[in-house]
Structure formats: C-alpha cells, structure tokens
Structure 1
Amino acid sequence: MFAQYDDIMSVEDVMDALNIGRSKVYELLKNGQIKSIKMKGYRIPKAAVIDFILTQTKMKLERYRELAD
C-alpha cells in the first residue's frame, strides 16, 4: 500500500499518500494525530502514517495485513 514511500516521509509524501492538502497534514501533525520529528521541517515515519490510518478506521493490524497481501 505504501511501498513506493521511504520509511521516513515528507509532508508532500503524506499529502500524496492520504490524498489530503498541506494544511490538513500540518493540522494532523500539530495536534499529534500523526507522530513526527521536527528537524528542518517535519519528518514523518511511514509507520506513524499507517498507525494513523488504522486508528482512524479502527481496523486491527491483522486485518490490515490481510488486505495488504
């Protein structure tokens, strides 16, 4: 699902992956819904984006893995 992205994503990567705008990504980062590291801009672990999606959909990890295969 996210194989085309590096393990550390940029804001632009998250915008593309989630199909949302820049301001929405920053909102999610600032309120902690997506965990990140701020070093000369935001660095977002791909795992944090996946965790956000799973949390939002309340999907269990096992089900995600089934869908990913």
Structure 2
Amino acid sequence: MTTPPPITEPDPSALICPGDKIGPCAACQRKTHKYGSGGIPLCQWCMESAKTAWGATVRFVSTRP
C-alpha cells in the first residue's frame, strides 16, 4: 500500500466524476466519488485499510432499494 497524500488532496476518483457526486470519505473525510453509480463511501486509501482488516472480498453494499 502506498502512503496517501495529505487529506487536502482529493481521491483520484473525485477528479473524474461529476461534482454533484463528490462527497467526503466516510473514514478520513477526503473528497471522493461517493454518490451514484460506481461510488463508494471510502477513498482508495481507506478502502485498502478496510480490505486489510476485513479481507479482499470487502465491498460496499447499497442500503437503498
């Protein structure tokens, strides 16, 4: 795992998605693609930590119908 840049730097996913689908990472509050199709509430660095803690099969499951 690489060392993440400062929190002020957005997740790379935030740079390629529409502005209305950008939100804070659920763990570190870094800007990330949070809302809409393909969005998850964790930035890539927090997701790597989650994978380490929970296993490689960890994934986001929507709670919306």
Structure with the largest fraction of helix:
1
The answer, yes or no, to whether TM exceeds 0.5 is: no
* TM-score (structure 1 length as normaliser): 0.29
Higher relative contact order (Cα pairs below 8 Å, separated by 6+ residues)? 1
* TM-score (structure 2 length as normaliser): 0.30
